[in-house]
Amino acid sequence: MTTLPQLSNLYRTQLKNGIVLLVTENSAADIIATRIFIRAGSCYENPKKAGLANLLSAVLTKGCDGLSSLEIAESVESVGASLSADTATDYFVLSLKTVTADFTHILELATRILRSPTFPEAEVELEKRIALQDLRLQKEQPFTVAFEQLRQIMYENHPYASSGSGDENTISCLTREDLVSYYHSFFRPDNIVISIAGRISSENATQQIEKLFGDWQVCADKTLPVIKASFPQTKPQQVITPQATQQSIIMLGYLSASVHSADYAALKLLSTYLGNGLSSRLFVELREKLGLAYDVSAFYPTRQFCSSFVVYMGTAPENTTTALKGLRTEVDLLTTCKLEESALEAAKNKILGQYALGKQTNGQIAQIYGWYEILGLGIAFDQKFQQNIAALTSVDTITTARQYLKEPFVSVIGQEEAINRIIA
């Protein structure tokens, strides 16, 4: 039997300018993956400029000091590497992956892009047109529409109410100056985490990062914007929208704890038990036994601030009312009946198994450690989360369910005749 090389201990250091560097040495493959995280996700946008972070992610790699979009693309593709930018609710990330021999070259390129983007006007206008086209396509997708209206009623006057994609009005009004202002507000060394995983020593990685980033200083007269995001005070309500669709989309949403809460692990387990995979409670009870669902699931996103616990179903129009009742019944059972020991252990094994599979590649390793660090959890959360899951009891899960899974927010998209039955 072949023995695979083991990961060494994760190395963490902080540069004098505030950049946090994480290095995981892994010689299993001749690949080095890097994630450069910035606390600059969509929740940091002004609602009137929703979609700004998403637009920035599209334009960031389209030009930097001395290089055009085409020259950047050719430099990356000529060595078979990958380099891309993306944004999420709580963070912005620049990702790169390459063979070890080309790492220095691609890291230097990523540094130029990160530190001196040019945001070419033509690229900005092109990406705005693409973003508007994407928005129009999203309006034709019932799931996207249902989730958008659910989020709006749950997070009214909260940073999470802002759509990462924006809308036609906000996107149309965005300018290059908006990108430059947002960039200078958040892209600064004391707001960055660099996570590297692969065939590289911590000493080598530190030397390269110090060389490329060590002279990047924070402007003394500019303070870092701070987000105020208290728990939403919205009251559960329902929003029902008629749309000419082949199926009804039904969503129930519950305001839930952030990743920093002691209840996070229990909510993750409840979400897994309820709607993760073909053996989940919702799939077995509502699809296999009752034949109600085309698609049925649950999710509980990891969020820096208040998250949401969501269950949803796609069903035939004539089953809309029955499906809504079925979803509500299954969630309510979590607050009245303790999980059987076998179900509890199965859910734990599923979470921990999937968690382990999510740390197989260098890209996944760099992602998860950098993600934890940028959220303020620290790298110790990797083990803490697994320990918290393993320690959960049925009492923990029912207690947590009773706290958060009470009256739901409801979002329904479907044919007018079908949804009229709900209103009636």
The two structure tokens encoding residue 372: 């934890």
- pLDDT value, residue 4: 34
Determine phi and psi for 199, rounding to 5 degrees.
-85, 75
Residues β-bridged to residue 313: 250, 296
pLDDT on residue 63: 94
Return the closest-CA partner of residue 209 out of 192, 224, 222, 223. Answer: 192
pLDDT reported for residue 7: 46
Q: Which helix (H) or strand (E) holds 343?
A: helix 341-357
* Those residues with Cβ within 8 angstroms of residue 322's Cβ, 6 or more apart along the chain or in another chain: 292
CB count, 10 Å around CB of 112? 17
Rama region for 68: left / alpha / beta (φ>0; ψ in -120 to 50; rest): beta
Total-model pTM: 0.93
pLDDT tens per residue, range 104-141: 999 999 999 999 999 999 999 999 999 999 999 988 88
What pLDDT does residue 1 have?
Answer: 25
Task: Return d(Cα 123, Cα 94) in angstroms, integer.
Answer: 18
According to the model, what pLDDT value does residue 29 have? Answer: 86
DSSP SS3 for 337: coil
> What is the biggest distance separating any 2 CA atoms in the chain, rounded to whole angstroms?
68
Contact 53, 86 (CB under 8 A): no
Burial tier of 373 (Cβ tally within 10 Å: 0-12, 13-18, 19+)? buried
State the Cα–Cα distance between residues 347 and 364, nearest whole angstrom. Answer: 22
Beta strands 238-242 and 248-256 are unpaired
Buried b (16+ CB within 10 A) or exposed e, 87-99: bbbbbbbbbbbbb
Phi, psi of 295, rounded to the nearest 5 degrees: -145, 135
Residue 424 pLDDT: 55
Tracing tokens 């393993």 back to the chain, one arrives at 390
Residue 40's alpha-carbon distances to 64, 162, 326, 341, 397, in angstroms, are 19, 13, 39, 42, 33
Cβ-count burial 68-85 (b if 16+ within 10 Å, e if not): ebeebeebbeeeebebeb
- CA–CA dist 169, 173 (Å, integer): 6
Q: Taking a C-beta distance cutoff of 8 angstroms, is the pair 315, 294 a contact?
A: yes
In the chain, the domains with their CATH numbers are 11-213 (3.30.830.10), 238-423 (3.30.830.10)
Look at residue 184 in the predicted model and tell me its pLDDT. 94
The confidence score (pLDDT) of residue 423 equals: 59
For position 414, what pLDDT does the model report? 86
**Is 67:120 a contact under the CB 8 Å cutoff?**
no
d(CA 229, CA 304) in angstroms, rounded, equals: 10
Please state, in angstroms and as integers, the Cα–Cα distance from residue 75 to each residue in 68, 69, 70, following that order: 11, 10, 9
Pick out the chain residues at pLDDT < 50: 1-7
Reported in sequence order, the residue ranges of 88-145 that DSSP labels E, i.e. its strands, are 92-99
Q: For residue 199, how far is the Cα from the chain centroid?
A: 27
Residue 163: per-residue pLDDT: 79
